[in-house]
């Protein structure tokens, strides 16, 4: 298989993941697809219009002191915190 074919397969795999991103870290690709990004390397859409929007709002900022802001306004960190990814570093199980 040529390098171009391998890259095309990796891009297709990521396109499929964009529709329904895995919740478990073990389900994410560990082949060439792990080097591809959602929306492609130079997407022609903004974060909020593309598949990245499924990952959460773009304007959330986590500060070093533990505070969190959304659109520049401080919010309760629990408001923007998602469930931990099973098997991830914040998963208590």
Dump pLDDT digits (tens) for 48-70: 777 777 777 778 888 899 899 98
Q: Is 30 a member of any domain?
A: yes
Q: Is 88 a member of any domain?
A: no
Structure token pair of residue 79 = 């408001």
Mean residue pLDDT of the chain comes to 81
CB 91 within 8 A of CB 84: yes
Q: Is 91 a member of any domain?
A: no
Could you tell me which residues are beta bridge partners of residue 22? Answer: none
* Structural domain containing residue 8: 3-58
pTM: 0.39
Q: Is 38 a member of any domain?
A: yes
For 30-78, the three-class secondary structure string (H helix, E strand, C coil) is: CCHHHHCCCCCCCCCCCCCCCHHHHHCCCCEEECCCCCEEECCEEECHH
Q: What's the domain count of the chain?
A: 1
């Amino acid at each position: 298989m040529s390098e171009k074919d391998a890259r095309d397969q990796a891009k297709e795999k990521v396109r499929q993941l964009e529709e329904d991103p895995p919740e478990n870290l073990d389900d994410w690709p560990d082949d060439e697809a792990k080097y591809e990004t959602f929306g492609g390397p130079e997407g022609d859409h903004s974060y909020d219009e593309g598949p990245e929007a499924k990952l959460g709002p773009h304007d959330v900022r986590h500060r070093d002191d533990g505070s969190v802001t959304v659109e520049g306004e401080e919010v309760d960190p629990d408001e923007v915190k998602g469930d931990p990814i099973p098997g991830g570093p914040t998963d208590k199980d």
